[in-house]
Amino acid sequence: MPVQMKRLRKDIETINGFNATPGNGITRLTFSPEYQGAVTYVVDELKQIGADISIGPAGNVRARVHGSDGRGPAVMMGSHLDTVAHGGQFDGVVGVATALEAARAIVEDQIEHRLPVDVVIFAEEEGSRFSRGLLGSSIWTGQIDPDQLATFKDDRNISYLEAMVQAGISVDDDHTLKPSDIRAMLEVHIEQGAVLEKRGHRIGLVEAIAGIRQLDITIKGVADHAGTTPMEERSDALQAAARIIIAVDDIAKNSGPHSVATVGRILCNPAQVNVIPGLVRFSVDVRNPNRELLESAVSKICRTVAEVCRERKLDVEIDRMAEAEPVALSQTIIALLEKKTRKENTAPYRMISGAGHDTALVAGLAEAGMIFVPSRDGRSHCPQEHTRIEDIALGCEILLDTVVELAA
């Protein structure tokens, strides 16, 4: 089908021209001038093909290409345009740019379709500004009440709603998505890992999106003199944390082939070279596409924390920061995507996504599928993030072919 690779490349380059940190990665925080510039560019391109634009709850954007029926559930495709600070050029952008190009092809080549086709841009996917990932899609799918938006604030104490007003965004469709609204959801995304590249595949088909459990652990000991306190009399919070962190690694390795766990943040107090640490606070991020194995790993980690601290007579608090359930994507959609991929003389690789995606939330309402394209060296969320335009164009061809069949 007629995907124009040069135009696709231009879209990606133009979107990435909206950047708050030129020369130091891409920074495009939700509702910032850079974000609004990128959204406006995509919306203007969609208006040129006659798409009807609406702004949904939380500032999510929907551009509809009407089908011959004039009604019916829509085939949705898209992703997000917000980034992490100093991130890459392709995360989220690939999904929006391929959806834009697929919509153009449908209109320009007058491809018949009965159902409407929607290009969607989800707001605040990364959570980089308001500290809650997948926030736009959570609101749109009814996982979070829109009334809570005023409680999400950035580091300048500006609320989500205030930021929308400052950016000149007004919601003209406050309709929360229902199963009857959606025929299917499709998203093209960079893999953000090295599996496809290492295995020599250009296309990955996501079978499941891992569930997430995040813990915030605080261990309280006693800060004392490093030279005068005997080893057997110490209440060293950092020694306990070190043993727990090693155990987290071991537990993850023994919780199934797709299990991962990460201690990504650690704070030590008083953080002095000659003082025994009296307080340590650290995070644990656990992921697994199997809910039973996920909960088992978290339980083992919590038991280990309790045992280590009890042995050392240390106080400990464990708070659950965030949770996301594992999501299995539609086998019907996966089979259709596989058929379309093989039509392009390419063998797809079925895989798990360890990262969260907006599609996971929409999958609770309708059939959903994700197409992964390779990330060079597995790099993502950094300036070195890169995906070949040829692979992006291939993903776009598969997206277009699949959307047309679903909307027929």
Tokens of residue 91, six digits = 């995360």
What's the fold here for domain 5-210+326-407?
Aminopeptidase (3.40.630)
Residues in the chain: 408
When the pLDDT of each residue in the chain is averaged and rounded to a whole number, the result is: 97
Which whole number is the average pLDDT over 378-397?
98
Which whole number is the average pLDDT over 4-9?
98
Pick the CATH number of 211-324 from 3.30.70.360, 3.40.50.2300, 2.40.30.10, 3.90.550.10: 3.30.70.360
Helical axes 5-16 vs 33-48, angle rounded to 10°: 150
pLDDT tens-place string over residues 35-67 = 999 999 999 999 999 999 999 999 999 999 999
Q: What percent of the chain has pLDDT over 70?
A: 100
Could you state, in order of their start, the residue ranges of all structural domains in the chain? Answer: 5-210+326-407, 211-324
pLDDT tens-place string over residues 153-194 = 999 999 999 999 999 999 988 899 999 999 999 999 999 999
Amino acid at 242: A
Q: In this predicted structure, what is the pLDDT of residue 1?
A: 59
Amino acid at 8: L
Q: Residue 3: CB partners within 8 Å, gap ≥ 6? A: 101, 102, 105, 393, 396, 397, 400
d(CA 333, CA 340): 11
d(CA 101, CA 46): 9
Hey, which residues does 344 pair with through a beta bridge?
none
Taking the whole predicted model, whether its pTM rises above 0.75 is answered as yes
pLDDT tens-place string over residues 313-359 = 999 999 998 888 999 999 999 999 999 999 999 999 999 999 999 99
Using the predicted structure, report yes or no on whether residue 2 has a pLDDT greater than 70.
yes
- 83 pLDDT band (50/70/90 cuts)? very high
* DSSP for 113-154, written as a single string: -SS-EEEEEESSSS-TTTS-TTHHHHHHTTSS-GGGGGG-B-
Sign of torsion over alpha carbons 239, 241, 247, 253 = negative
Q: In this predicted structure, what is the pLDDT of residue 362?
A: 98
Cβ neighbours, 10 Å, residue 172:
9
Torsion angle (degrees, nearest 10) of CA 12, 396, 53, 39: -20
* Cβ atoms of residues 361 and 141 within 8 Å: yes
3-state class percentages of the chain: helix first, strand second, coil last, to nearest 5: 40, 25, 40
Domains 5-210+326-407 and 211-324 equal at CATH topology level:
no
Phi-psi category of 336—alpha, beta or left, where left has phi over 0 and alpha has psi -120 to 50?
A: alpha
- 70 pLDDT band (50/70/90 cuts)? confident
Cβ neighbours, 10 Å, residue 57:
22
Using the predicted structure, report yes or no on whether residue 210 has a pLDDT greater than 80.
yes
